[in-house]
Amino acid sequence: MKHNKGFYERYLKRPQDIVLSLVALIVLSPVITIVALLVRTKLGSPILFTQERPGLNEEIFRMYKFRTMTDEKDGDGKLLPDAVRLTKFGKLLRATSLDELPELFNILKGDMSVIGPRPLLVQYLPLYNEFQKRRHEVRPGLSGLAQVNGRNAISWDDKFNLDVEYVDNVSFLEDWKIIFLTIKKVFVKEGISSDTAATMEAFTGNERLEEEI
Protein backbone atom coordinates (compact mmCIF):
# COMPACT_ATOMS: atom_id res chain seq x y z
CA MET A 1 0.00 0.00 0.00
CA LYS A 2 1.67 3.18 -1.19
CA HIS A 3 1.70 6.01 1.32
CA ASN A 4 0.12 9.38 0.69
CA LYS A 5 2.52 12.31 0.60
CA GLY A 6 1.77 15.11 3.02
CA PHE A 7 2.40 18.83 2.43
CA TYR A 8 5.90 18.70 3.93
CA GLU A 9 7.03 15.74 1.84
CA ARG A 10 5.45 17.06 -1.33
CA TYR A 11 6.59 20.69 -1.21
CA LEU A 12 9.18 21.34 1.53
CA LYS A 13 11.40 18.29 2.03
CA ARG A 14 13.32 18.56 -1.26
CA PRO A 15 14.00 22.36 -0.99
CA GLN A 16 15.12 21.73 2.60
CA ASP A 17 17.50 19.01 1.37
CA ILE A 18 19.03 21.40 -1.18
CA VAL A 19 19.58 24.13 1.40
CA LEU A 20 20.98 21.79 4.06
CA SER A 21 23.34 19.99 1.68
CA LEU A 22 24.63 23.27 0.22
CA VAL A 23 25.23 24.77 3.66
CA ALA A 24 26.90 21.57 4.86
CA LEU A 25 29.17 21.41 1.79
CA ILE A 26 30.25 25.03 2.32
CA VAL A 27 30.76 24.78 6.09
CA LEU A 28 32.43 21.36 5.94
CA SER A 29 34.56 22.02 2.83
CA PRO A 30 37.80 22.27 4.88
CA VAL A 31 36.99 18.94 6.59
CA ILE A 32 36.10 17.30 3.27
CA THR A 33 39.38 18.52 1.76
CA ILE A 34 41.46 17.26 4.68
CA VAL A 35 39.76 13.84 4.71
CA ALA A 36 40.22 13.54 0.93
CA LEU A 37 43.96 14.25 1.29
CA LEU A 38 44.28 11.74 4.14
CA VAL A 39 42.44 9.05 2.17
CA ARG A 40 44.74 9.69 -0.79
CA THR A 41 47.82 9.44 1.45
CA LYS A 42 46.79 6.42 3.51
CA LEU A 43 44.67 4.38 1.07
CA GLY A 44 45.73 5.70 -2.33
CA SER A 45 43.49 6.25 -5.35
CA PRO A 46 40.64 6.38 -5.99
CA ILE A 47 39.69 8.59 -3.05
CA LEU A 48 36.00 7.78 -3.41
CA PHE A 49 34.20 4.48 -3.04
CA THR A 50 31.36 4.56 -5.59
CA GLN A 51 28.64 1.99 -5.94
CA GLU A 52 25.26 1.70 -7.60
CA ARG A 53 22.37 1.77 -5.14
CA PRO A 54 18.57 1.76 -5.56
CA GLY A 55 16.86 5.05 -4.75
CA LEU A 56 13.34 6.44 -4.98
CA ASN A 57 11.04 3.94 -6.76
CA GLU A 58 14.06 1.59 -7.04
CA GLU A 59 15.77 3.82 -9.62
CA ILE A 60 19.50 3.13 -9.62
CA PHE A 61 21.99 5.89 -8.84
CA ARG A 62 25.72 6.01 -8.06
CA MET A 63 26.45 6.75 -4.42
CA TYR A 64 29.68 8.41 -3.26
CA LYS A 65 31.60 7.71 -0.06
CA PHE A 66 35.19 8.13 1.05
CA ARG A 67 37.13 4.89 0.83
CA THR A 68 37.66 3.07 4.12
CA MET A 69 39.16 -0.18 2.79
CA THR A 70 42.22 -1.25 0.84
CA ASP A 71 42.01 -3.24 -2.40
CA GLU A 72 44.01 -6.18 -1.03
CA LYS A 73 43.33 -9.43 -2.90
CA ASP A 74 44.19 -13.08 -2.42
CA GLY A 75 46.20 -15.26 -4.79
CA ASP A 76 43.15 -15.80 -6.99
CA GLY A 77 42.54 -12.08 -7.40
CA LYS A 78 39.53 -12.01 -5.07
CA LEU A 79 39.14 -9.20 -2.54
CA LEU A 80 40.07 -10.20 1.00
CA PRO A 81 37.34 -10.11 3.71
CA ASP A 82 36.19 -6.72 5.01
CA ALA A 83 37.83 -7.32 8.39
CA VAL A 84 41.22 -7.60 6.67
CA ARG A 85 40.80 -4.66 4.28
CA LEU A 86 39.27 -2.26 6.82
CA THR A 87 42.21 -0.25 8.17
CA LYS A 88 42.47 1.61 11.50
CA PHE A 89 42.10 4.84 9.53
CA GLY A 90 39.03 3.40 7.79
CA LYS A 91 37.52 2.41 11.14
CA LEU A 92 38.06 5.97 12.37
CA LEU A 93 36.29 7.39 9.30
CA ARG A 94 33.34 5.05 9.88
CA ALA A 95 33.20 5.71 13.62
CA THR A 96 33.01 9.46 13.00
CA SER A 97 30.79 9.05 9.87
CA LEU A 98 33.29 11.19 7.92
CA ASP A 99 33.22 8.56 5.16
CA GLU A 100 29.60 9.60 4.47
CA LEU A 101 30.37 13.26 3.64
CA PRO A 102 30.52 12.80 -0.19
CA GLU A 103 26.86 11.73 -0.04
CA LEU A 104 26.08 15.43 0.40
CA PHE A 105 26.63 15.65 -3.37
CA ASN A 106 24.07 12.85 -3.86
CA ILE A 107 21.60 14.88 -1.80
CA LEU A 108 22.27 18.02 -3.82
CA LYS A 109 21.75 16.07 -7.06
CA GLY A 110 18.44 14.66 -5.85
CA ASP A 111 19.56 11.03 -5.58
CA MET A 112 19.17 11.12 -1.81
CA SER A 113 17.60 13.06 1.04
CA VAL A 114 19.12 14.17 4.32
CA ILE A 115 16.76 11.78 6.12
CA GLY A 116 15.33 8.53 4.76
CA PRO A 117 16.04 4.77 4.68
CA ARG A 118 19.70 4.09 3.95
CA PRO A 119 20.38 3.06 0.31
CA LEU A 120 21.29 -0.63 0.30
CA LEU A 121 22.79 -2.89 -2.36
CA VAL A 122 21.23 -3.45 -5.79
CA GLN A 123 21.47 -7.23 -5.40
CA TYR A 124 19.06 -7.07 -2.47
CA LEU A 125 16.17 -5.89 -4.68
CA PRO A 126 14.94 -9.38 -5.72
CA LEU A 127 15.10 -10.52 -2.07
CA TYR A 128 12.64 -8.01 -0.63
CA ASN A 129 9.06 -8.92 0.15
CA GLU A 130 6.26 -6.44 -0.60
CA PHE A 131 6.53 -4.86 2.84
CA GLN A 132 10.29 -4.38 2.62
CA LYS A 133 10.01 -2.86 -0.87
CA ARG A 134 8.07 0.04 0.62
CA ARG A 135 11.36 1.54 1.86
CA HIS A 136 11.81 2.76 -1.73
CA GLU A 137 8.68 4.92 -1.68
CA VAL A 138 10.85 7.81 -0.45
CA ARG A 139 14.36 8.99 -1.32
CA PRO A 140 17.09 7.15 0.59
CA GLY A 141 18.79 9.19 3.29
CA LEU A 142 22.17 10.14 4.68
CA SER A 143 20.66 9.05 7.99
CA GLY A 144 17.37 7.53 8.97
CA LEU A 145 15.18 6.10 11.70
CA ALA A 146 17.10 2.80 11.69
CA GLN A 147 20.42 4.63 12.00
CA VAL A 148 19.39 6.37 15.22
CA ASN A 149 17.94 3.13 16.61
CA GLY A 150 20.92 0.82 16.34
CA ARG A 151 22.40 1.33 12.85
CA ASN A 152 24.34 -1.83 11.89
CA ALA A 153 23.90 -3.44 15.33
CA ILE A 154 20.20 -4.29 14.81
CA SER A 155 18.69 -7.12 12.80
CA TRP A 156 17.55 -6.78 9.19
CA ASP A 157 13.93 -7.29 10.27
CA ASP A 158 14.17 -4.45 12.77
CA LYS A 159 15.87 -2.25 10.21
CA PHE A 160 13.17 -2.81 7.57
CA ASN A 161 10.40 -2.26 10.12
CA LEU A 162 11.94 1.09 11.08
CA ASP A 163 12.40 2.04 7.41
CA VAL A 164 8.73 1.46 6.61
CA GLU A 165 7.68 3.16 9.84
CA TYR A 166 9.55 6.23 8.62
CA VAL A 167 7.90 6.04 5.18
CA ASP A 168 4.47 6.05 6.84
CA ASN A 169 5.30 8.97 9.13
CA VAL A 170 7.39 11.45 7.12
CA SER A 171 7.17 14.87 8.75
CA PHE A 172 9.18 18.00 9.42
CA LEU A 173 9.40 17.28 13.15
CA GLU A 174 10.38 13.64 12.60
CA ASP A 175 13.16 14.61 10.18
CA TRP A 176 14.63 17.17 12.56
CA LYS A 177 14.36 14.78 15.48
CA ILE A 178 16.39 12.23 13.47
CA ILE A 179 18.91 14.92 12.44
CA PHE A 180 19.63 15.86 16.06
CA LEU A 181 19.72 12.20 17.16
CA THR A 182 22.17 11.48 14.30
CA ILE A 183 24.52 14.21 15.51
CA LYS A 184 24.36 12.70 19.00
CA LYS A 185 25.02 9.19 17.66
CA VAL A 186 28.09 10.38 15.73
CA PHE A 187 29.66 11.57 18.97
CA VAL A 188 28.63 8.45 20.92
CA LYS A 189 29.82 6.19 18.04
CA GLU A 190 27.15 3.51 18.51
CA GLY A 191 26.16 0.70 16.15
CA ILE A 192 29.04 1.09 13.67
CA SER A 193 29.29 -2.67 13.15
CA SER A 194 27.16 -5.72 13.76
CA ASP A 195 28.12 -8.15 16.53
CA THR A 196 29.35 -10.78 14.07
CA ALA A 197 30.83 -8.83 11.15
CA ALA A 198 33.36 -6.07 10.51
CA THR A 199 30.71 -3.90 8.87
CA MET A 200 27.23 -5.37 8.41
CA GLU A 201 26.11 -8.85 7.41
CA ALA A 202 24.60 -8.98 3.96
CA PHE A 203 20.87 -9.45 3.55
CA THR A 204 20.49 -12.81 1.79
CA GLY A 205 17.16 -14.13 3.05
CA ASN A 206 18.64 -17.43 4.23
CA GLU A 207 22.36 -16.95 4.65
CA ARG A 208 24.55 -14.32 6.25
CA LEU A 209 27.62 -13.12 4.43
CA GLU A 210 29.83 -10.14 5.10
CA GLU A 211 29.44 -7.21 2.74
CA GLU A 212 30.40 -3.54 2.78
CA ILE A 213 27.30 -1.47 3.47
Mean per-residue pLDDT, 22-40:
97
Of the listed ranges 9-18, 76-85, 98-107, 199-208, the one predicted with least confidence: 199-208
% the chain with pLDDT above 70: 89
Query: Among 42-46, 72-76, 112-116, whose mean pLDDT is lowest?
Result: 72-76
Cα gap 168→157, rounded to integer Å: 17
pTM: 0.86
Pick the closest to residue 39 from 63, 62, 65, 21 (CA basis).
65
